[in-house]
């Protein structure tokens, strides 16, 4: 990490080892960051996330008492197009005689890699003045299984930020004390920060008294036109 | 690191102030729900609090957001990195320079971009001038909220105008400065501009002395702010409170000292800390921070070297950082302002997230207000110092 932009006392490997010593079977995965910032992160398994978070906060060496930032990230389903060489038997008619021969052809195959929603937490220590330690969690998919455990019981500062991720990405935080929309209005249906979000033509369409009047006027005009045609 | 300023020594704190007693009666009361805002002068913008009152006392308070929401993050993900720079001005529109800096720092961390010396000095000068005008206005707004309508706020705005004039002469705009670029600053400051800035900084201590008298010399202010809206240090840390609010609760955490971003390790300045964590401390911390900013400005304006203000290798057109992610944060006047960016190698950020100090500092608004009178809610809320452009984004 460039000097003067935060510092880490422990590397992610050491933190991973410390977590696994404290929470057996925690299932922590290292996510490397290829960019120049080299801010690597740890991916937590859902079932141990709260235990790991509590350890990170209360551990005397790490003392990550300050949760700075919670962000949602959307990773949509990816359609991967591959060219595969396939060898298959082909029947050919040569001089009136049927022959079977092996032939290698190039085939285009498409497969869909399922997407997910991700939540990224940036942790710092105010007591030890160190950080950041970045932890992240992924949902199973983007449609029906979008739950991750809430870390609000561990760090109160996640309260509004997790509500925001729920509001804009649709991640459901299990264990959050007050999971409601925060920026969009309560009746809003979609999740605007998702990559495939399409905005409606009219955000706040509500049937008004005017619609009724317009419908009646239309019916009246149609009837009048028919009458005129009949006469 | 220099020792933090002991605040108590400087404060004319009136211990044992006789607060009027709370009258307990046997009268049956009915709970009353009030919607404060969104169009209420005390909310500093379009913000609403659903308050449940028992008589005058607050027993429940729920903040409601989103009246100014325009999905800043989505907009930024659909345009190039540089195109978001002027848009960051509109987050906290009182402090566009520090918003620019936080964004520039995040992108520079993402792309591994260096910044020339002179540009670093100019950034510090701009950020500290911004801090002074933000804190002065915050104190002006406090007096306004307490009913001193107009005059004290306009008094704070006299100095703010002078600072904004400096910004305008350099960047072309008073508030929407759009001054920083990835790898430097947009234009260089002339010698005449620096001379003007030095003149202004020389005037400031007298202004702060006089302005501090408004806080210390008013009996009404003492009675209404001391011991009000106390925020314990432990809760402040756990709730992610940053900036003057955190330091008023006595937690020594200033990102300028912790991260040494930019060139802050070159300047001598102290971090003021409060003892009580009440409204009064929060405002005194701001006054003391203005004094420390003046000290930084004096050093920066004296030491500023010559040279270019943009890294010649910095890429302006077709700027595509390598795939990766970065989180950059600075000590903005209102707290920790951070930007989290993910690059997929394209011209737009794949993910662009603003960590807004104003929103997160409101997490504990209910905790601070419970049990206080509804009139004090206005003061407690004002002492958080928020701007709705940043809360709602």
- pLDDT digits (tens), chain B, 393 positions: 455 554 444 444 445 444 555 556 676 777 888 888 787 777 777 888 888 888 788 888 888 888 889 889 999 999 999 999 999 999 988 889 999 999 999 999 988 888 999 999 999 999 999 999 999 988 888 888 887 777 878 888 888 899 999 999 999 988 899 999 998 898 988 999 999 999 999 989 998 888 887 777 777 888 888 888 888 888 899 999 999 999 999 898 999 988 888 889 889 999 999 888 888 889 889 999 999 999 999 999 998 998 898 888 888 788 888 888 999 999 999 999 999 999 988 899 999 999 999 999 999 888 888 888 888 888 888 888 888 888 988
| C-alpha to C-alpha distance for B377 and B56, rounded to whole angstroms | 11
A125 and A60 part of one domain = yes
| C-alpha to C-alpha distance for B90 and B74, rounded to whole angstroms | 15
Instruction: Mark the ranges of chain A whose per-residue pLDDT is less than 50.
Output: 1-7
What's the structural domain count of chain A? Answer: 3
| C-alpha to C-alpha distance for A76 and A136, rounded to whole angstroms | 17
A157 and A65 part of one domain = yes
Residues of A with CB under 8 A from a CB of B: 2-6, 33-37, 39, 65-69, 71, 73, 120, 122, 126, 129, 132, 134, 155-161, 164, 168, 182-185, 192-193
Residue B88: closest CA among B181, B186, B168: B181
- Chain B CB contacts of A73 under 8 Å are 342, 351
Could B240 and A157 be called an inter-chain contact, meaning their C-beta atoms sit closer than 8 Å? yes
A108 and A18 part of one domain = no
A61 and A134 part of one domain = yes
What's the pTM?
Answer: 0.83
A132 and A64 part of one domain = yes
Give the N- to C-terminal CA distance of chain B in Å, as an integer.
36
Q: Name which of B111, B327, B362 is nearest A132 (Cβ-Cβ).
A: B327
- Chain A CB contacts of B342 under 8 Å are 73
A46 and A137 part of one domain = yes
- Predicted confidence at residue B11, as pLDDT, reads 47
Could B321 and A35 be called an inter-chain contact, meaning their C-beta atoms sit closer than 8 Å? yes
Q: Which domain holds residue A50?
A: 12-74+118-174
Residue A126 lies in a domain: yes
| Chain B residues 256-275 with a CB less than 8 Å from chain A | 258-262, 265
Could B340 and A156 be called an inter-chain contact, meaning their C-beta atoms sit closer than 8 Å? no
Radius of gyration of chain B measured on its C-alpha atoms: 21
A168 and A206 part of one domain = no
A84 and A152 part of one domain = no
A144 and A44 part of one domain = yes
Residue A193 lies in a domain: no
Residue B339: closest CA among B324, B351, B321, B327: B327
Q: What is the ipTM of this complex?
A: 0.84
Residue A186 lies in a domain: no
A69 and A16 part of one domain = yes
Three-class SS of chain A: CCCCCCECCCCHHHHHHHHHHHCCCCCCEEECCCCCCCCCEEECCHHHHHHHHHHHHHCCCCCCCEEEEEEEEEECCEEEEEEEEEEEEEEEEECCEEEEEEEEEEEEEEEEECCEEEEEEEEEECCCCEEEEEEEEECCCCCCCCEEECCCCCCCCHHHHHHHHHHHHCCEEECCCCCCCCCCCCCCCCCCCCCCCCCCCCCCCCCCHHHHHHHHHHHHHHHHHHHHHHC
- Predicted confidence at residue A3, as pLDDT, reads 39
Residue A149 token pair:
């455990």
Residue A163: closest CA among A73, A30, A72, A29: A72
A19 and A88 part of one domain = no
Q: What strands lie across the sheet with A130-138, from one edge to the other?
A: A29-31, A41-43, A130-138, A116-125, A66-75
Size of interface A-B (CB pairs under 8 A): 119
Q: Name which of A34, A35, A68 is nearest B338 (Cβ-Cβ).
A: A68
Q: Is the dihedral of CA B146, B150, B154, B155 positive or negative?
A: negative
- Predicted confidence at residue B214, as pLDDT, reads 72
A93 and A122 part of one domain = no
Residue A187 lies in a domain: no
């Amino acid at each position: 990490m460039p000097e003067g932009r935060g510092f880490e006392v422990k590397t992610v490997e050491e933190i991973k080892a410390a977590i696994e010593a404290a929470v057996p079977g925690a299932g922590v995965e290292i996510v490397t960051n290829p960019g120049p910032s080299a801010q690597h992160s740890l991916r937590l398994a859902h079932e141990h996330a709260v235990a790991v978070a509590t350890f990170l906060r209360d551990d005397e060496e790490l003392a990550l008492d300050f949760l700075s930032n919670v962000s949602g990230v959307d990773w949509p389903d990816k359609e991967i197009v591959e060219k595969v060489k396939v060898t298959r038997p082909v029947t050919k008619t040569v001089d009136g005689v049927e022959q079977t021969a092996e032939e290698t052809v190039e085939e285009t195959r498409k497969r869909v890699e399922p997407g997910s929603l991700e939540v990224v937490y940036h942790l710092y220590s105010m007591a030890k003045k160190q950080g950041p330690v970045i932890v992240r969690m992924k949902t199973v998919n983007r449609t029906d299984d979008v739950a991750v455990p809430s870390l609000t019981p561990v760090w109160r500062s996640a309260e509004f930020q997790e509500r925001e991720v729920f509001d804009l990405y649709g991640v459901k935080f299990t264990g959050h004390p007050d999971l409601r929309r925060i920026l969009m209005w309560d009746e809003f249906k979609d999740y605007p920060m998702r990559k495939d979000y399409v905005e409606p033509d009219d955000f706040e369409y509500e049937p008004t008294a005017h619609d009724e009047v317009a419908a009646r006027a239309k019916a009246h005009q149609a009837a009048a036109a028919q009458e005129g045609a009949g006469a | 690191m220099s020792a933090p300023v002991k605040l108590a020594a400087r404060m004319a704190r009136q211990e044992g102030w006789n607060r009027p007693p709370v009258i307990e009666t046997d009268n049956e009361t009915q709970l009353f729900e009030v919607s404060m805002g969104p169009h209420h002068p005390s909310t500093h913008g379009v913000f609403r609090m659903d308050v449940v009152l028992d008589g005058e006392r607050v027993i429940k308070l729920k903040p409601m957001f989103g009246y100014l929401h325009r999905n800043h993050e989505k907009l930024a993900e659909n345009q190039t990195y540089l195109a978001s720079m002027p848009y960051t001005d509109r987050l906290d529109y009182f402090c566009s320079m520090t918003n620019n800096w936080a964004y520039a720092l995040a992108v520079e961390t993402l792309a591994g971009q260096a910044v020339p010396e002179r540009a670093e000095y100019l950034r510090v000068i701009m950020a500290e001038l911004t801090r002074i005008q933000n804190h002065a206005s915050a104190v002006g707004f406090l007096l306004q909220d307490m009913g001193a309508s107009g005059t004290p706020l306009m008094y704070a705005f006299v100095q703010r105008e002078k600072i904004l004039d400096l910004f305008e002469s350099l960047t072309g705009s008073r508030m929407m400065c759009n001054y920083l670029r990835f790898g430097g600053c947009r234009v260089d400051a002339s010698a005449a501009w620096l001379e003007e800035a030095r003149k202004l900084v020389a005037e400031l201590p007298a202004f702060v002395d006089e302005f501090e008298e408004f806080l210390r010399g008013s009996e009404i202010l003492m009675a209404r702010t001391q011991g009000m809206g106390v925020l314990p240090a432990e809760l402040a840390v756990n709730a992610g409170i940053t900036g003057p609010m955190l330091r008023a609760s006595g937690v020594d955490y200033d990102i300028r000292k912790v991260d040494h971003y930019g060139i802050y390790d070159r300047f001598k300045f102290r971090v003021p800390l409060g003892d009580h964590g009440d409204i009064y401390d929060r405002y005194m911390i701001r006054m003391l921070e203005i004094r420390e900013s003046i000290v930084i400005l004096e050093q920066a304006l004296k030491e500023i070297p010559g040279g270019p203000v943009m890294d010649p290798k910095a890429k302006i057109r077709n700027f595509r950082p390598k795939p990766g992610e970065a989180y950059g944060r600075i000590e903005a006047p209102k707290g920790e302002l951070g930007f989290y960016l993910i690059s997929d190698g394209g011209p737009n950020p794949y993910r662009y997230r603003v960590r807004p100090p104003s929103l997160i500092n409101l997490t504990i608004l209910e905790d601070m207000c419970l049990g206080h009178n509804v009139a004090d809610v206005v003061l407690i809320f004002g002492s958080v110092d928020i701007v709705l452009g940043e809360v709602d984004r």
